[in-house]
């Protein structure tokens, strides 16, 4: 039985990809399966936390006992997270949020025309950065999906987004990152501490991340 060491905490986890629609049948997205975020939500719930799981479209069932909020786009994810941020003691942003969305969404299916087409994109709001500016903010954990320079880019995100911890994972490795069962990560904390987590299951990494959050909150 898991220890109920997160009892009394409200943990919001975001998971999965966002979809940025071009028209009623097409969208821009990424390969996030939701496995990492769902593992965090499951483990936090088993350890006694109230868990709110804000999930992009994935093909997994919500873990037992979590409050599931389904969203599609980055804008919907932002609404869902900001609405609930004040209730939370911890927010973990494992979702792969699209940085850009199409400037326009056609309400009818876009027809095939010329051989070349251009899609104009506009920046999405950065949810984690916005959470980092809240006056009374929960303990904030962001992820950094990188294809190299983990420490450098992870530290940049830690600072720029004002997070308390960044979980930097190298998504170019075949056994880590998107849509696999395992992961490895460099945990980066405010104040310069770092912890290297070698290859392990996403469940085990979720447990490690929650252990560190708990230790930091004490």
Subset of residues 132 to 151 that bind ligand PMT, contact rule: CB under 6 A: 142-145
- The phi-psi region of residue 99 (left if phi > 0; otherwise alpha if psi is between -120 and 50; otherwise beta) is alpha
Quote the CA–CA distance of 189 and 101 in Å, as a whole number.
Answer: 30
Dihedrals φ, ψ of 21, to 5°? -80, 140
Q: Does 216 bind ligand PMT (CB under 6 A)?
A: no
Region from 40-48, 174-182, 192-200, 206-214 binding ligand PMT, contact rule CB under 6 A: 174-182
φ, ψ of residue 35 to 5 degrees: the values are -60, -45
Choose, by CB under 6 A, the member of 11, 19, 32, 164 that binds ligand PMT.
Answer: 32
Among 33, 46, 73, 162, which residue interacts with ligand PMT (rule: CB under 6 A)? 33
Min dist CB 35 to ligand PMT, Å, is: 3
74 binds ligand PMT (CB under 6 A): yes
Query: Phi and psi at residue 150, in whole multiples of 5°?
Result: -55, -50
For residues 51 and 44, the answer to whether their CB atoms sit within 8 Å is yes
Structure tokens at 135: 């006056």
Q: Is 120 a catalytic residue?
A: no
Q: Is the separation of the CB atoms in 15 and 41 below 8 Å?
A: yes
Residues making up the annotated binding site for CTP are 99, 109, 125-128, 143, 157, 161
**Site track 153-172 with ligand PMT (rule: CB under 6 A), x = hit:** ----x-----------x-x-
Q: Which of 5, 87, 99, 196 binds ligand PMT (CB under 6 A)?
A: 99
Closest CA to 187 of 205, 200, 203, 171: 205
Binding mask 186-205 for ligand PMT (x = CB under 6 A): --------------------
Q: Give 154's contacts (C-beta < 8 A, 6+ positions apart).
A: 144, 146, 166, 168, 186, 188
Asked if 213 interacts with ligand PMT (CB under 6 A), we say: no
> Per rule CB under 6 A, is residue 44 in the interface with ligand PMT?
no
Does the protein bind ligand PMT through residue 126 (CB under 6 A)?
yes
Length of the chain: 218
Provide the 8-state DSSP code for 109. P
127 is a site residue for ligand PMT (CB under 6 A):
yes
Residues that bind ligand PMT (CB under 6 A): 32-36, 74, 93-97, 99, 124, 126-128, 142-145, 157, 169, 171, 177-179
Would you please indicate which residues are annotated as catalytic (active-site) residues? Answer: 30
């Amino acid at each position: 039985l898991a220890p109920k060491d997160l009892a009394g905490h409200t943990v919001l986890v975001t998971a999965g990809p966002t979809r940025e629609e071009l028209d009623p049948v097409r969208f821009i997205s990424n390969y996030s399966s939701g496995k990492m975020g769902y593992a965090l939500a499951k483990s936090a719930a088993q350890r006694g936390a109230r868990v709110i799981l804000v999930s992009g479209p994935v093909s997994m069932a919500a873990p037992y006992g979590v409050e599931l909020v389904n969203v599609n786009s980055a804008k919907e994810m932002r609404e869902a997270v900001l609405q609930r941020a004040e209730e939370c003691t911890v927010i973990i942003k494992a979702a792969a949020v699209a940085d850009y969305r199409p400037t326009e969404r056609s309400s009818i299916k876009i027809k095939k025309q010329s051989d070349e087409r251009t899609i104009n994109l506009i920046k999405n709001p950065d949810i984690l950065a916005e959470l980092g500016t809240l006056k009374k903010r929960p303990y904030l954990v962001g992820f950094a999906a990188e294809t190299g320079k983990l420490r450098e880019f992870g530290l940049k995100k830690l600072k720029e987004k004002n997070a308390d911890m960044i979980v930097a994972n190298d998504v170019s490795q075949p056994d880590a990152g998107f849509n696999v069962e395992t992961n490895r990560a460099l945990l980066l904390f405010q104040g310069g501490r770092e912890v290297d987590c070698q290859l392990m299951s996403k469940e085990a990494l979720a447990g490690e991340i929650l252990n560190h959050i708990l230790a930091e909150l004490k």
